[in-house]
Amino acid sequence: MTQTDLPVVSTLPVATATLDPAPARDSLGAQGDSLRDIADCHHLAATMEWLDNHPPHVIADQLARMDAVSAGMAFRLLDKDRALDVFEELEPVDQQQILHGLRDQSFRELVEGMDPDDRARMLREAPAKVAKKVLAGLSPRERRMTAALLGYPEGSVGLYMTPEVVALPRNLPVAQALQMVRTKGANAETVYTLPVVDAGRRLIGVVELRDLVLSSPDAMIADLVESEPTFVRATDSAEKAARLMQGANLINLPVVDSEDRLVGLLTIDDAVEVIEAADSEDVARQAGTTPWSGHYMAAGVFQLARYRAMWLTLLLVAATLTVTVTDFFEPTLEQAAHLALFIPLLIGAGGNAGAQAATSCVRALAVGEVRVSDLFKVVWRECRVGLLLGTMLAAVGMVIGAVFVGAKIAVVVAITLVLICGWAATIGGTMPLLAKKLRIDPAVISAPMVTTLVDATGLIIYFMTAKLVLGI
């Protein structure tokens, strides 16, 4: 991340400082103490010492765990160089919390020093009043770059790329290229990957800084350039671009507009954030909850409950299918009451098999190992996996059934385990692909949803098998 010289933004007025400047130093500030513990003791010196002894990403994590007042007070104790580094490590929701506690001057200095891409993502999630205040306080250059990034669609590469790039003409000797990097590099977020452009700023290729440093000063950029670079368009999906970087082992990825003109670079740190956010969202949806932004430890009990309540309600309604199936086959249960003993075992095994298949398929889709065109291959593959697992479980179920209720029902349990595991794995592997084909987020086909569906259909398989085997 680039840094801009900022006046000190961390001065606390004497009238509002509530931290005691003379703490007892016996245990405060120890390596194991958290920033919240020290700040809650109102010890100024210990808090400042803790901030001085920890890197920006650790400080940001601690601030995200604190309430707005405590986090704001601790942040204002940071010196001018570290304040910006810490601020850029925070999530947008936590950045807004910090900004609310700053005076106008400190507010302007902080947002002016941010990288344009970080600033644009924060403003995307900020209330209109905060966004307007931020834009009004920016210099004309920073305002133009920020406004340009805000014009890209939600979730696109344009919102995550840095427009501050050192682009080299192809007809330049290495010595002049290095001089250009020295001159313009201070204002760029990265100089390790240097795009090469023509007179119309259209991307021709890229050259690595390492190649420039190790080449003869008289060599030409045209002789060093990689003429078929990997690149994406600004309107492409940020997640797909980040996965591309991951697969191609790139540290920076050129971004172009619809006319192949260079508009920025997607850097590895932003790509990692995109992948982390995408994976966090997928995990949340697979667990049957709504994704949220911000730190888990800073989220309130009611907030977490609100994110989970909708999915639990939907799953509860869906679970009425199980009740309906059981009610329909009540006469069968009356003739063989021992069948009821194995209902939890069977629907549990089927639900787990379906959840495993769904999770594996969603993950494979996310990393590009499986495509929608592979639907029939996945169906055939998961069906065989499920039948194999069911056969293994059937051997165990046969023994359990024979011990508790006798051979006939044990046979029913064993056959059902084979069928239900094969069915569950097929459903679990198929639903995410069908969702993708219908342009629905595959993660929405969560493991709890698959489990609920398999519970109801598994009972139908169980009772139908019992009727055929037992002749009832």
- CATH number of the structural domain spanning residue 238: 3.10.580.10
Query: pLDDT tens for residues 262-319?
Result: 999 999 989 988 888 887 777 666 665 555 556 556 566 776 676 667 666 776 776 6
Tokens describing residue 327? 């009610």
| Amino acid 197: pLDDT | 92
Question: Is the confidence at residue 7, as pLDDT, over 90?
Answer: no
| Amino acid 167: pLDDT | 92
Rounded to 10 degrees, the C-alpha dihedral 390/392/395/400 comes to -70
Q: What is the mean pLDDT of residues 361-365?
A: 83
Task: Average the pLDDT over each of 33-47, 54-68, 180-194, 386-400 and give the range with the smallest value.
Answer: 33-47
Q: Which helix (H) or strand (E) holds 255?
A: strand 252-256
The last residue of one of the domains, among 95, 122, 151, is 151
Q: What is the mean pLDDT of residues 398-423?
A: 88
Question: Is the confidence at residue 25, as pLDDT, over 70?
Answer: no
In a domain, 18, yes or no: no
Q: What is the mean pLDDT of residues 55-64?
A: 86
Give the C-alpha separation, 467 to 283, whole Å: 40
| Amino acid 23: pLDDT | 40
Tokens describing residue 195? 């795009």
Question: Is the confidence at residue 387, as pLDDT, over 90?
Answer: yes
Closest CA to 346 of 397, 404, 411: 397
The last residue of one of the domains, among 102, 120, 151, is 151
In a domain, 20, yes or no: no
Residues 6+ apart with CB under 8 A from 240: 232
Please report which confidence band the pLDDT of residue 82 belongs to, taking 50, 70 and 90 as the band edges. Answer: confident
The last residue of one of the domains, among 287, 311, 331, is 287
Mean pLDDT, the chain, whole residue set? 80
Same structural domain, 356 and 462: yes
Same structural domain, 77 and 184: no
Question: Is the confidence at residue 215, as pLDDT, over 70?
Answer: yes
Q: Is the dihedral of CA 48, 50, 53, 54 positive or negative?
A: negative
Rounded to 10 degrees, the C-alpha dihedral 231/233/239/242 comes to 20
In a domain, 294, yes or no: no
Q: Is the dihedral of CA 236, 242, 245, 246 positive or negative?
A: negative
Same structural domain, 315 and 339: yes
Residue with tokens 């069948």: 339
Is the separation of the CB atoms in 252 and 190 below 8 Å?
yes
Question: Is the confidence at residue 14, as pLDDT, over 70?
Answer: no
Amino acid, res. 240: K
Residue with tokens 């697979």: 286
Same structural domain, 195 and 243: yes
According to DSSP, residue 195 is labeled E
Question: Is the confidence at residue 379, as pLDDT, over 80?
Answer: yes
Same structural domain, 442 and 304: yes
Give the C-alpha separation, 185 to 213, whole Å: 15
Rounded to 10 degrees, the C-alpha dihedral 228/229/230/235 comes to -100
- Helix-helix angle 238-248:268-286, to 10 degrees: 110
Question: CA 227, 185, 5 angle in degrees (round to 5)?
Answer: 155
Question: How would you label 23-48 residue by residue, b for 16+ Cβ within 10 Å and e otherwise?
Answer: beeeebbeeeeebbbbbeeebbbbbb
In a domain, 1, yes or no: no
Is the separation of the CB atoms in 220 and 172 below 8 Å?
yes
Same structural domain, 129 and 240: no
Amino acid, res. 100: H
Higher pLDDT among residues 300 and 44, named by residue? 44
| Amino acid 188: pLDDT | 87
Tokens describing residue 109? 């200095």
Residue by residue, DSSP assigns 264-305 as EEEEHHHHHHHHHHHHHHHHHHHTTS----S-GGGS-HHHHH
Q: Which helix (H) or strand (E) holds 75?
A: helix 68-75
In a domain, 252, yes or no: yes
Question: How would you label 154-184 residue by residue, b for 16+ Cβ within 10 Å and e otherwise?
Answer: ebbbbbbbbbbbbbbbbebbbeebbebbeee
By percentage, how much of the chain surpasses pLDDT 90? Answer: 23
Give the C-alpha separation, 359 to 282, whole Å: 10
Is the separation of the CB atoms in 226 and 205 below 8 Å?
yes
Q: Is 8 helix (H, G, I), strand (E, B) or coil?
A: coil
Question: Is the confidence at residue 133, as pLDDT, over 70?
Answer: yes
| Amino acid 296: pLDDT | 58
Give the C-alpha separation, 125 to 263, whole Å: 23
According to DSSP, residue 207 is labeled E
Please report which confidence band the pLDDT of residue 5 belongs to, taking 50, 70 and 90 as the band edges. Answer: very low
Give the C-alpha separation, 378 to 386, whole Å: 12
Q: What is the mean pLDDT of residues 159-183?
A: 91
Question: Integer distance in angstroms from the first to the last C-alpha of the chain?
Answer: 72
Is the separation of the CB atoms in 38 and 116 below 8 Å?
no
Q: What is the mean pLDDT of residues 135-140?
A: 81
Question: Is the confidence at residue 20, as pLDDT, over 50?
Answer: no
pTM value? 0.60
Question: How would you label 407-417 residue by residue, b for 16+ Cβ within 10 Å and e otherwise?
Answer: ebbbbbbbbbb
Higher pLDDT among residues 371 and 5, named by residue? 371
Q: How many residues does the chain have?
A: 472
| Amino acid 382: pLDDT | 92
Query: pLDDT tens for residues 84-113?
Result: 888 888 887 788 777 776 766 677 777 778
Same structural domain, 206 and 265: yes
Total domains in the chain come to 3
Same structural domain, 282 and 306: no
Tokens describing residue 184? 């313009």
In a domain, 390, yes or no: yes
Question: CA 307, 299, 61 angle in degrees (round to 5)?
Answer: 130
By percentage, how much of the chain surpasses pLDDT 70? Answer: 83
Same structural domain, 458 and 354: yes
For residue 76, the domain's CATH number is 1.25.60.10
Higher pLDDT among residues 49 and 206, named by residue? 206
Integer CA distances (angstroms), 247 to 74, 240, 242, 318, in order: 40, 10, 9, 39
The bridge status of strand 203-208 relative to strand 193-197 is antiparallel
According to DSSP, residue 13 is labeled P
Structural domain for 117, as ranges: 35-151
Total Cβ atoms within 10 A of residue 461 = 21
| Amino acid 347: pLDDT | 86
Question: Is the confidence at residue 10, as pLDDT, over 50?
Answer: no
In a domain, 352, yes or no: yes
Same structural domain, 319 and 458: yes
Same structural domain, 271 and 323: no
Higher pLDDT among residues 84 and 20, named by residue? 84
| Amino acid 103: pLDDT | 66
Strand order in the sheet with 262-267: 232-233, 252-256, 262-267
Same structural domain, 306 and 264: no
Question: Is the confidence at residue 424, as pLDDT, over 80?
Answer: yes
In a domain, 433, yes or no: yes
For residue 358, the domain's CATH number is 1.10.357.20
